[in-house]
Structure formats: structure tokens, C-alpha cells
Amino acid sequence: MANLLSSLFLLFVAAAAVHHRQALSITSPSDVAALKAFKSAVDPASIPRWSCLASWNFSAADPCSVPRRSYFTCGLSCSSSSSGGPAQITLITLDPAGYSGTLSPLVSGLSRLAVLDLSDNSFRGPIPSSLSSLSALTTLSLRANSFSGAVPALAGLKTLQSLDLSYNSLSGSLPSSLSSLPSLTRLDLSFNRLTGSIPKLPPNLLELALRGNSLSGPLSKDSFAGSAQLEVVELGHNSLAGALEPWLFLLPSVQQIDLANNSLARVDVPTPPTAGGGGGGSLVAVDLGFNRIEGLVPGSFASYPQLSSLSLRHNRLRGDIPTEFGRKATLRRLFLDGNYLTGKPPEGLLSRGSAVAFGSLGDNCLRECPASSQLCAPSQKPDAVCKQAYGGGRPRS
Ligand SMILES: *[C@@H]1O[C@H](CO)[C@@H](O)[C@H](O)[C@H]1NC(C)=O
Ligand SMILES: *[C@@H]1O[C@H](CO)[C@@H](O)[C@H](O)[C@H]1NC(C)=O
């Protein structure tokens, strides 16, 4: 009996010791300091009582102590201290609680931080350039906040895979250091106030999204040279001008190209090499609507084996709709409305068996586009407009 009691007592002492050690200092002191600095840069009035940040109480608990009952209940993760050293913060993913304030430059003290995600809050001010010393960072998302100033040069972040700074108020041009991010596969800087041209892109990018900025100039082949994996190119709603050259459509992995609502003047679409592997084989969707593209509708689009969605709406295109479009079995969406297209819609396009399920050929100068066909809405341009567009003569057909 006495024996049992004393072993119970020993057990209790051991448990208390473990508890004591955890409560005292389980997290590396420099990480605790960085985390405190991070929290104190957030406006206290913007921290709701029920939020993750409210549970970060440094005088009540150690950030990495477990179990997390009342303090540090969410918003961060720690490395396990299995190696014997102190635990470190590996992840900060804040809840969208409406936090405002700034992002403390001292967050760079979290030397093992892999994920920093503050999306859907109201952080403001510059994105600290000290983030470039977070050498373990794989994911940075500051999406949908109010950050301003320049896109930080994150040069040297060899591990960064995903960078999402979309829906902020960032200005200036894109840093040329982007090309020195070897692991970056996803870059989203959409809906900011970025200007200038597109610099050389990171070599392993899969997804590029720069929609809704004020980027200008022609697209340069040099920027995309080496983008062998690039699948998604979203550059809509900018001020890009000049010609789209054949190389764009022949990027080896490209699937989606969105350049709608820019100021493009010409497009040169090559016929993709048939043997496969030569690029263009994966192209599924192209949106070049709302530009100033002149010339004929490129019939070569029909030779992209997977193309299922094409928009050239609201440009300055003339001439007939290529007959190939009437026979293209993969083409499900076709928007050619708002141009000066003439002649008769090609055989097959308006027929019952047509592959095209969505789209419009309306607001052109077409003959014989019957109002009974949905594809023909809205109605064609008035004769006078078409005559003027074709120099006063009869529209060519
Ligand atoms: C933090 O915890 C301490 C000790 O439990 C408590 O006195 C203090 O009020 C807490 N602070 C906040 C802001 O909740
Ligand atoms: C194109 O973008 C401008 C400015 O972003 C906007 O005002 C306009 O409505 C857009 N046009 C279309 C057709 O989306």
C-alpha cells in the first residue's frame, strides 16, 4: 500500500515537472519576441474577443505549449521540439477577423516560418522587405488587405512556392528579382495598382495572375523565356498594347490565356506543330475580348486540339468567320460579338449539332444570322455603320 502510494506520488511529481517545463519555456525566446512584435503591431481595438489573436496571451502561456485550451488556440503552429531544441513557429494563418494595423518587420525573426497568411483582413502600410530573410517561407498570402507601397523584392527566398498579394493597393513596377525565385509556382498580384512592363518571370511558374493593374507595353518573349511549365496566364484588365506574337500561343504548357480588356492591336496566331510536344497542344481557353485588335479572325485557332473557349468580342475584326469554326468539335464557347464580321456564319455553327453551346456572333455585319438562333443575339449592326466601317462600299462577303 505504501509502495503504491509512493509510486503514485512519483508519477504525480513527474507529470508536474513535465507540465512545469512546458509552461516555462518551450518556444525559442527569439520566436516569442518576434511573435509579440507581430501582435503588438495590430491595432488592439481591431482584435475581437473571440478571435485567434485575442487568445495570444504571452503572460498567461507559452505559444507552443500543449494542450491549447484557453491560450494560443488558433492562428499559429509550432515545430515539434523532437530534436531536443526549443519549439519554433512554423505557420501563422490568421482568421479573417477584420484585424487592422501593420505587419511588423520583426516577423522576420521567425526563422522557421513556412506559411504567413493574413488574407481577408485590413492590414495596411508597406510589406516589410525584411520578409526576404524568412528563409523557410513557402507560402505568403496577404490577399485582400490594404497594403500599399512597392511589391517587396523577395530575392533569395529559395523555398517560396506561392505568393499572393492580390487585392491590395500595391504600386510601382514588378521587381526584377521575381526571376530569382526558383520554387515559385503560383504568383497572384491581381487587383493592385502596378505599372510598367512585365519583367522576366520565375522559371518554374505554373500560374501567373496579374489581372486588374495598369501594366503596359507589349508582352515580351524574354519575360516568358524559360516558362516551360506555365499553364495559366491571367493578364486581363491592364493597359498592355502592341501585338501578340506566335510564341505566346506556343508556350509548351499553356492552357488558359486571358488578355481581355487591354489595348492590344494585333494578334498573330500560329498553327501549332502537329507532332505534339511543340507547344499549344494544351491550350483550352483564350480570352482577347475588349481590345483593339484589327484584321481577320485567326482561323488557326481551330487547329488547337483542345481549344474549347474563345472570345474575341469587342475588337475591330473584319472579314468572314473562318469556316473551320463550324467543324471544331471541341469548341463549346465562342464569343465574336461586337466586331465588323461579314458574310454568312460558317456551315455547322448554327446547326442543331453544333458543338458551340454558349456564345454570340451578334453586333457584327453578318448576313443571314437568323434571330431564331441564340448565337445571333444581339442583332447585327445597322447597315450604315457597316458601310462606313468598310469605307462606304458594300461589306465584303
Ligand atoms: C492574460 O492572462 C493573464 C493571466 O491569466 C490575465 O491576467 C490577463 O488579463 C490576460 N490578458 C488578456 C488581454 O486577456
Ligand atoms: C475595362 O477596364 C476598365 C478599367 O479597369 C473598366 O472601366 C471597364 O469597364 C472594363 N471594360 C470591360 C468591358 O470590362
How confident is the model over 335-340, as a mean pLDDT?
A: 98
- pLDDT category at 17 given cuts 50, 70, 90 is very low
Ligand 2 atom 8, closest CA: 261
| Model confidence at 22: pLDDT above 80 | no
- Look at the block and give the residue holding cell 498570402: 141
Nearest residue to 53 via CA among 110, 99, 109: 99
Measured from the alpha carbon of residue 263, the closest ligand is 2
Ligand number nearest CA of 214 is 2
Q: Could you tell me the distance, in angstroms and rounded to a whole number, from the CA of residue 312 to the centre of ligand 2?
A: 15
**Residue 15 pLDDT greater than 80, yes or no:** no
- 395: in domain: no
Residue 125, amino acid:
G
* 16 grid coordinates: 508536474
- SS3 of residue 337 by DSSP: coil
Tell me the best of 42, 53, 55, 57 to mutate to test the pocket of ligand 1, counting ligand atoms within 8 Å of each CB and taking the most: 57
Identify which ligand lies nearest to the alpha carbon of 238. 2
Phi-psi region of 191 (alpha: psi -120 to 50; beta: other; left: phi over 0): left
Q: 39 C-alpha vs ligand 1 centroid, how far in Å?
A: 15
| pTM of the predicted model as reported, rounded to 2 decimal places | 0.89
Q: Is the CB of 70 under 6 A from ligand 1?
A: no
- Note whether residue 20 is domain-resident: no
The number of angstroms, rounded, from the C-alpha of 295 to the middle of its chain's C-alpha atoms is: 31
Mean pLDDT value of segment 61-82:
87
Point out which residues pair with 187 in neighbouring strands.
Answer: 163, 208
Query: Is there a domain that residue 251 lies in?
Result: yes
CA dihedral 375, 376, 378, 379 (to 10 degrees): 180
pLDDT of residue 239: 98
Residue 108, in any domain of the structure: yes
Which of 5-9, 77-81, 287-291, 299-303 comes out lowest in average pLDDT? 5-9
Q: For ligand 1, atom 11, name the residue with the nearest CA.
A: 57
Instruction: Find the mean pLDDT for residues 148-175.
Output: 96
Residue 365 sits in which domain range?
Answer: 90-389
Centre of ligand 2 to C-alpha 38, Å, is: 38
Q: Are the CB atoms for 349 and 328 separated by under 8 Å?
A: no
CA of 34 to the centre of ligand 1 (A): 19
Q: Decide if pLDDT at 138 tops 70.
A: yes
Distance, CA of 342 to CA of 397 (rounded, Å) = 6
CATH number at residue 304: 3.80.10.10
pLDDT in tens, 375-394: 999 999 999 999 999 986 55
42 pLDDT tier (thresholds 50, 70, 90):
very high
Closest residue by CA, ligand 2 atom 14 = 261
Ligand 2 centroid, distance to 331 Cα (angstroms): 26
Tell me, yes or no, whether 75 lies in a domain.
Answer: no
What's the rounded mean pLDDT across residues 284-292?
A: 98
Q: Which H/E stretch holds residue 162?
A: strand 162-164
CA of 237 to the centre of ligand 2 (A): 7
Q: Is residue 148 part of a domain?
A: yes
Q: 44 CB under 6 A from ligand 1? A: no
Q: Which helix (H) or strand (E) element contains residue 115? A: strand 115-117
Report which protein residue has its CA nearest ligand 1's atom 5: 60
Q: Which of 193, 211, 237 to mutate to test the pocket of ligand 2 (most atoms within 8 A of CB)?
A: 237
CA of 57 to the centre of ligand 1 (A): 6
The span from the CA of 131 to the CA of 267, in Å, is 40
pLDDT mean across residues, the chain: 91
Domain count within the chain: 1
Q: Are 301 and 327 in contact (CB under 8 A)?
A: no
How many other CB atoms sit within 10 Å of the CB of residue 334? 27
Indicate which ligand has the atom closest to the C-alpha of 290. 2
Q: Is residue 301 part of a domain?
A: yes
- Of 47 and 25, the structure prediction assigns the larger pLDDT to 47
- Which band of pLDDT confidence, cut at 50, 70 and 90, is reported for residue 8? very low
In a domain, 142, yes or no: yes
Quick check: CB of 60 below 6 Å from ligand 1? Answer: yes
307 within 8 A of 286, measured Cβ to Cβ: yes
Per the DSSP assignment, residues forming a β-bridge with 316 are: 294
Give phi and psi for 376, each to the nearest 5. Answer: -85, -10
